[in-house]
Structure 1
Amino acid sequence: MKTIIFTLAFFAFLLEVNAQDTTTYKSNKINNLKWVPLPAVGSNPANGWMFGLAPSATWYMGNPADTKMSNLVGNFLYTTKKQWIFSSRSNIFLDKNKWILVGDWRYFITSQPTFGLGSSAPNIPEEDPARPGVWRGEQQMDFNLIRFYETVLRRIGDSKFYLGMGYHFDQHSKINSFTNEENSPTLGFSHDAYNLARGFSTERYILSGITLNAIMENRDIAVSPYEKNFALLSYKINPTFLGSDQSSSTLLLDYRHYFNLSERRKRHLIAVWGYGNFLVSGNLPYMNLPSIGWDMFGRSGRAYAQGRFRGESMAYTEAEYRFPLQKNKETFGGTVFVNAGSFSSRDTNEKLFEQFNPGYGLGLRVMINKKNRTTITADYGWGQKGNSGFYLNVNESF
């Protein structure tokens, strides 16, 4: 499936607003706020045409000399299929980086294809040989999603390490699986068969839990790093007394490293990303299983549609070469990237690392604010079996 997103008035309507521009910085107050309200239009087979805004904001909660830049990225979109897509994702560093607040809030009235579980799920719908009477391959789903994730982390002394806790809530509702194929055989949908086998509803379910988190934050600017590294370990516990339909636990690992290739041009670098999401105990509802493109900013798996691969556990890796396109300016840049993901599934008897789904591509970067490194990113990726996609976003992919 191809996903195409482009921004209206790419340069003419870019607007940068300085809310404060003083040399006196107030602790835990918004300083040097800069925001870019981007009018946006998008299109993909699941949503049709989308219209709205994709604003981005950066600011400091203290003196920039000893406080990292905070950032927020939002989406406010309406589609021709009468769908709504609202989201707000933020990383906020309080004064002197003593605390980090990480937020991921979403409200979707939307639809999305699912393809079944495991790395071997095909594009074209067919009967699952491992589960007779059940579809695998592309199947359409309508659903609503309410997500509220908020994490608070405290810095350990003067180090780069943080410890903290978070609350994560997901509610999927009004779920309806269907196929657009006429005269297709009467088979069960992957989503419904999986949920029924594990005692979940096929129409509505809740995953509610707390997370225990450890972070190493060593990047210079989180939205577009030039150097150093970042690591996250998050153990999530989803007990029934917090509202989860069934108890479960998961482990998420995320590591990113940025290798400079030139001291003079910091933008000339190689970035690498490793990401793992593993079911540790219990069962998860189908749409809460680890899936490509469902990381916080939806950047994994360029070349594949969001949700194209899903399983009880996933491992993902990506490497990207970033470089400037101008001799003495930083406005334009380019990138080439490669990635690969692997998914396990007990239903299809697939184990992690038995099969990989690679992708590769290239992209263009336009830096619209050099101080804060706010960047428009346009990428095209190619994957296996005819999968490909075009992606336009604000800030680097990772």
Structure 2
Amino acid sequence: MKYTLLAWFCLLFFCRSGFGQEPVQYTPNKINQFKFVPLPAIGSNPANGWMFGLAPSATWYMGDPQTTKLSNLVGNILYTTKKQWIFSVRSNIFLNENDWILVGDWRYFITSQPTFGLGSSSPNEASQDPYFREPPGVLWGEQQMNFRLLRFYETVLKRISDSNFYLGIGYHLDIHSRIENFLDEPISAPEEVFTHNAYNLSNGFDTESYALSGLTLNAVYENRDVPVSPYERNFALISYKVNPTFLGSDQSSSTLLLDYRHYFNLSERRKRHLIGFWAYGNFLVSGKLPYMNLPALTWDMFGRTGRGYAQGRFRGESMLYSEVEYRFPLQKNKETFGGTLFLNANSFGNEFNQENLLNQVNLGYGLGLRVMINEKNRTTITIDYGFGREGNSGFYLNINESF
């Protein structure tokens, strides 16, 4: 399964200089030193066809840059030749003196996407799942889905004293609706054989729409120098989510998300020369989740896990992911161009096809180019090509580093 995302760089000159004037004085909790990158985008993949639109991003400070970290926002406004719409806004805002962090993830999709079944061993081509217990004949491998997704995630974190530790609470809402399952080939198949439907029916969920609404308790250690493109230090997140029915969830459940990132400098003179490490885990702790809310590859906040595979290529009730990336400058005395080599691994476990975590580990690897369009804020265009197992591969273009 290939995924491609291309962008035009016709506004590159303007993006390098930014829009708006830098203020002489910095006002606490007001937007200062605002930079906007209105990047036009053209994309194509088998699920969406050709996509046209914008992939804008912005960076700014909510206080003095000497004492306040850089805030950032990344958006997508895309329309496809299959009459699909993709809207998203994701933000990480540091208030004055880094006393508060506001984290947002808002999305509305009218879209389609293949799903490949549960676990880490699913094949590319559709076939009968040999492990699914009930009912028999459930498909495994590529199955197409049409659906709509409304997502509203917002988290507020408060700094603890003068440390880099934060505690906070968030509200997370996902509503999937108008779900349809089908195969690309004209094969007549009962609805129950699609993995999505079989899983949901077995767990008491509707097959056409469902909601997951919950509160998160969050602990964060934010020690990166510049979160959008770190050169050093580390980041950690622990997020426990409770999804009660009285908040609108179809069934009660709870999940645990763990995220750790570390950056090791290889040169004191060129801090851009580094090795980055990322460890990520997402686990169902109690209850049941609807199929599309199960942990899945590339469904993290910025969609950066699993380069080399399509979004949703692997899915399960528990997920482990890790990645190591070597980043280096390509110019002797300038920071405009850089490169990267990366290696990642993922594993999924779930009860229904009786696959445990680490029974199967899927590797991805690749290389990339970096173009820094604003050196002071480290706003960077990232271009990567990744390879996975059994012919999976993908070409990716994004704003800012993968992690």
Q: Indicate conservation of the 8 Å contact 1:94/1:100, yes or no.
A: yes
Residue by residue over 1:241-260, the C-alpha shift from the partner in whole angstroms, topping out at 9 and shown as x without a partner, is 00000000000000000000
Aligned twin of 1:289: 294
Aligned twin of 2:179: 175
- Please, which runs of 5 or more residues in structure 2 have no aligned partner? none
> Is 1:353 the counterpart of 2:358 in the alignment?
yes
> Is 1:342 the counterpart of 2:343 in the alignment?
no
Aligned ranges for residues 13-92 of structure 1 at < 5 Å? 14-15=14-15, 16-92=17-93
Q: Indicate conservation of the 8 Å contact 1:20/1:31, yes or no.
A: no
| Mapped partners of 1:18, 1:383: distance in 2 | 39
Residue by residue over 1:112-152, the C-alpha shift from the partner in whole angstroms, topping out at 9 and shown as x without a partner, is 00000000011010011123221110000000000000000
| Mapped partners of 1:200, 1:330: distance in 2 | 51
| Mapped partners of 2:236, 2:187: distance in 1 | 50
> Is 1:150 the counterpart of 2:157 in the alignment?
no
Aligned twin of 1:136: 140
Look up the SS of the partner of 1:287 in the other structure: helix
Give the superposed CA RMSD.
1.1
Residue by residue over 1:37-95, the C-alpha shift from the partner in whole angstroms, topping out at 9 and shown as x without a partner, is 00100000000000000001000000011000000000000000000000000000000
Aligned twin of 2:199: 194
Q: Indicate conservation of the 8 Å contact 1:172/1:205, yes or no.
A: yes
| Mapped partners of 1:119, 1:322: distance in 2 | 28
| Mapped partners of 1:389, 1:14: distance in 2 | 29
1:184 CA drift (Å) = 5.6
Look up the SS of the partner of 1:82 in the other structure: coil
1:23 CA drift (Å) = 2.5
Q: Indicate conservation of the 8 Å contact 2:20/2:34, yes or no.
A: yes
| Mapped partners of 2:21, 2:29: distance in 1 | 14
Aligned twin of 1:224: 229
1:10/1:318 Cα in 2 relative to 1: closer, same or farther (>3 Å)?
farther
1:9 CA drift (Å) = 3.2
1:183 CA drift (Å) = 3.7
| Mapped partners of 1:364, 1:226: distance in 2 | 16
Aligned twin of 2:3: 3
1:174/1:376 Cα in 2 relative to 1: closer, same or farther (>3 Å)?
same
Aligned ranges for residues 312-351 of structure 1 at < 5 Å? 312-351=317-356
Look up the SS of the partner of 1:290 in the other structure: coil
Q: Which amino acid aligns with 1:336?
A: L
Q: Which amino acid aligns with 1:35?
A: F
Q: Indicate conservation of the 8 Å contact 1:256/1:273, yes or no.
A: yes
| Mapped partners of 1:13, 1:93: distance in 2 | 28
1:365 CA drift (Å) = 0.3
| Mapped partners of 1:226, 1:38: distance in 2 | 24
Q: Indicate conservation of the 8 Å contact 2:12/2:373, yes or no.
A: no
The percentage of aligned residue pairs carrying the same residue is 72
1:17 CA drift (Å) = 3.5
| Mapped partners of 2:107, 2:303: distance in 1 | 12
1:182 CA drift (Å) = 2.4
| Mapped partners of 1:183, 1:288: distance in 2 | 27
State the TM-score, normalizing by the size of structure 2: 0.97
1:164/1:336 Cα in 2 relative to 1: closer, same or farther (>3 Å)?
same
Q: Which amino acid aligns with 1:66?
A: T
| Mapped partners of 2:279, 2:50: distance in 1 | 33
Residue by residue over 1:183-224, the C-alpha shift from the partner in whole angstroms, topping out at 9 and shown as x without a partner, is 465561000000000000000000000000000000010100
Look up the SS of the partner of 2:193 in the other structure: coil
| Mapped partners of 1:128, 1:325: distance in 2 | 47
Q: Which amino acid aligns with 2:311?
A: Q
Aligned twin of 2:367: 362
| Mapped partners of 2:131, 2:141: distance in 1 | 13
Q: Indicate conservation of the 8 Å contact 2:373/2:379, yes or no.
A: yes
> Is 1:260 the counterpart of 2:265 in the alignment?
yes
Look up the SS of the partner of 2:60 in the other structure: strand
1:265 CA drift (Å) = 0.3
How many pairs align?
398
Q: Indicate conservation of the 8 Å contact 1:18/1:32, yes or no.
A: no
> Is 1:206 the counterpart of 2:217 in the alignment?
no
- Please, which runs of 5 or more residues in structure 1 have no aligned partner? none
Q: Which amino acid aligns with 1:298?
A: G
State the TM-score, normalizing by the size of structure 1: 0.98
1:196/1:13 Cα in 2 relative to 1: closer, same or farther (>3 Å)?
farther
Aligned twin of 1:235: 240
1:169/1:183 Cα in 2 relative to 1: closer, same or farther (>3 Å)?
closer
Aligned twin of 1:109: 110
Look up the SS of the partner of 1:385 in the other structure: helix
1:354 CA drift (Å) = 1.4
| Mapped partners of 2:14, 2:342: distance in 1 | 27
Q: Indicate conservation of the 8 Å contact 1:90/1:103, yes or no.
A: yes
| Mapped partners of 2:11, 2:368: distance in 1 | 18
Q: Which amino acid aligns with 1:41?
A: I
| Mapped partners of 2:209, 2:12: distance in 1 | 44
Aligned counterpart for 1:159 among listed residues 157, 163, 174: 163
1:309 CA drift (Å) = 0.1
Q: Indicate conservation of the 8 Å contact 1:303/1:359, yes or no.
A: yes
Q: Which amino acid aligns with 1:8?
A: W
| Mapped partners of 1:220, 1:320: distance in 2 | 18
